[in-house]
Each structure stands twice: as structure tokens, then as C-alpha cells.
């Protein structure tokens, strides 16, 4: 707010209060919330976004963890559902890449990105608001998967702080995957390409990991890929934090998952955010 002193008809001085621009941090928060609120309101009209995030993880959990659990043996554990649940939870983050990329691409094709750029708002606020809203939706999908997992027998066996730390790590992983989706949506204008690429990423990174089988059960040429897959490091850390069965291979990624997570997710987040914001400045419908 700002005040201006004016002289009235009777020569008295009056102070007129006029609205001013809010402080920069408050303005940025307001912009992010406005963009995020718009994205969340669209969920009411299109709940299929939530279905797309949860469908594949639920099918994997029911098919492998429930129907085939007696046919799959994990060294040192007789509870296959608890073993695969971390992998299923990571699948929720991978499954969020495609819907986010499609939404960004549709906004770009519809000219909405151009209208946002014409407004006096921070360019990064648009993408941050979008990803934060999608994170809320993804966490809603995760809540559904956790509920179904508990129904089929998944349990955590560590203290509450460790369990919460596991879900916090999962939220960081999911948010990083959302920025991958933003960059994919900015870089490609073809929805079919986006759906194909995101589907391949979700399948390859989830199944070429330690999410559903011990690494030593995989073919020899796949083992190094599965060991150094960042998703494997996230899954291993989640199993430790939740007290679920862990199979540790004699390799650096398996023995030091925290270091692999910090380096891989940190680099991926930095690269995707910088490239997405740069692409946002130049993208056209």
C-alpha cells in the first residue's frame, strides 16, 4: 500500500491510500498459488489424471504382489508384497511423467503459455505452480496405492520418523519426475510421441531395477544397468526406511544408495528445471 497527500477544495490536506505492488516474495507466492489452483480445479473436470497415475502401479501390485507372490522367492524374505511395495510406490512417480507432459503440451498448443508470458508474472512461477499442483495430485494417487497396499498386506516396521522420511524421499523423487514431464512436454509438440516416450520411461526404469526382483536374479548384462539405475537407489533407501526386505548386492549403488540419490536426482532436477525455464521463454504454440 502507498499513501499520497492531496489538497481538497477546502484547502485541507488529505491522505489517499492506494494499493501498491506486494513485496516480491509475496507476489511470487501468490502467482504460484494462482497457477497451481487453476491446475487443481481442472482435476474436477478431468479425474482421469488420477486414474492414469494409479492404474499401472495398482495392476503391478495386484498381479505380482498378490496373485504371483507364491511363485516368486526373494532371498531372506517370505513376504513378497513388502518387498515390491517400494518399487510400486516409485512407479507412481514414474507414471506421473506422461500426464504432466501432456498437460504442458496442451497448454502450449492452446496458446495458454503465450498468454502467461504476456502477463507481468514470473516465468518460473508458471512452471513451479504447475509442478506443485501436479505433486498434490501425485500424492493423492500415492495415498490410494498405499491404502490398497495395506489392504493386501504391506506394512512398515520402523519408527514413525523413519516411515515419514521414506515418504518425504518419495515426494522428492516424484517432484523431480514431474520436472522431467515438464521438459518432455515443452520439447515435444506431438502427444503420441509424449505418450510413447513416457510409457517407455515408466516401464524401463521400473522393471530394469531392483523393484520387483533381486538384482542377482536378472540377466548378467542387465545387472549393471539395474544397479546404477537411480530408481533402484530410491527403492533401496525406501526399504531401509520402511523396514521392508532388502537385498544388497556387492556394488557401490547398492551399498551407498543415499549418495547415488543425491547425485543423480540433484543433477536431474537442476538440468530439467533450467532447460524447462529456458524452453518456456522461447516456446511457441
Q: What's the pLDDT tens digit per position in 74-104?
A: 766 678 888 999 999 999 999 999 989 988 8
Three cell numbers written together for 202: 515408466
pLDDT at 2: 45
Give the ranges where the chain is alpha helix by DSSP (H): 24-45, 48-60, 80-95, 97-109, 112-118, 123-151, 160-187, 191-207, 223-228, 230-242, 252-255, 257-282
pLDDT at 75: 64
Greatest pairwise CA separation for the chain in angstroms: 94
Three cell numbers written together for 73: 522367492
d(CA 177, CA 202): 10
- Which of the four pLDDT bands, split at 50, 70 and 90, describes residue 111? confident
pLDDT at 173: 97
More confident residue, 68 or 137: 137
pLDDT at 79: 82
Helix/strand/coil for 172:
helix
81 close to 68: Cβ distance less than 8 angstroms: no
DSSP string, 129-165: HHHHHHHHHHHHHHHHHHHHHHHTT----S-HHHHHH
Q: How many CA atoms lie within 13 A of 211 on its CB side?
A: 26
pLDDT at 230 over 90: yes
* Share of residues in the chain with pLDDT > 90 (%): 39
Amino acid at each position: 500500500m502507498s499513501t499520497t497527500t492531496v489538497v481538497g477544495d477546502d484547502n485541507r490536506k488529505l491522505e489517499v491510500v492506494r494499493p501498491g505492488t506486494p513485496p516480491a516474495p509475496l507476489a511470487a507466492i501468490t502467482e504460484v498459488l494462482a497457477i497451481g489452483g487453476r491446475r487443481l480445479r481442472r482435476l474436477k473436470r478431468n479425474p482421469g489424471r488420477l486414474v492414469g497415475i494409479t492404474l499401472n502401479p495398482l495392476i503391478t501390485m495386484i498381479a505380482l504382489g498378490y496373485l504371483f507372490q507364491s511363485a516368486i522367492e526373494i532371498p531372506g524374505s517370505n513376504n513378497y508384497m513388502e518387498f515390491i511395495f517400494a518399487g510400486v510406490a516409485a512407479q507412481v512417480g514414474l507414471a506421473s511423467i506422461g500426464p504432466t507432459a501432456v498437460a504442458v503440451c496442451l497448454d502450449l498448443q492452446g496458446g495458454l503459455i503465450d498468454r502467461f508470458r504476456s502477463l507481468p508474472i514470473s516465468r518460473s512461477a508458471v512452471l513451479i505452480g504447475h509442478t506443485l499442483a501436479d505433486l498434490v495430485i501425485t500424492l493423492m494417487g500415492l495415498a490410494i496405492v498405499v491404502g490398497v497396499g495395506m489392504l493386501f498386506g504391506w506394512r512398515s516396521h520402523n519408527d514413525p520418523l523413519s516411515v515419514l522420511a521414506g515418504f518425504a524421499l518419495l515426494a522428492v523423487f516424484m517432484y523431480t519426475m514431474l520436472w522431467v514431464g515438464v521438459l518432455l512436454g515443452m520439447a515435444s509438440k506431438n502427444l503420441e510421441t509424449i505418450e510413447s516416450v513416457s510409457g517407455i520411461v515408466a516401464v524401463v526404469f521400473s522393471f530394469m531395477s531392483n523393484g520387483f526382483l533381486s538384482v542377482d536374479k536378472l540377466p548378467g548384462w542387465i545387472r549393471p544397468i539395474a544397479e546404477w539405475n537411480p530408481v533402484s537407489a530410491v527403492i533401496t533407501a525406501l526399504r531401509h526406511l520402511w523396514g521392508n526386505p532388502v537385498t544388497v548386492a556387492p556394488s557401490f549403488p547398492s551399498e551407498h544408495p543415499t549418495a547415488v540419490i543425491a547425485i543423480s536426482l540433484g543433477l536431474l532436477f537442476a538440468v530439467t528445471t533450467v532447460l524447462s525455464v529456458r524452453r518456456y521463454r522461447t516456446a511457441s504454440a
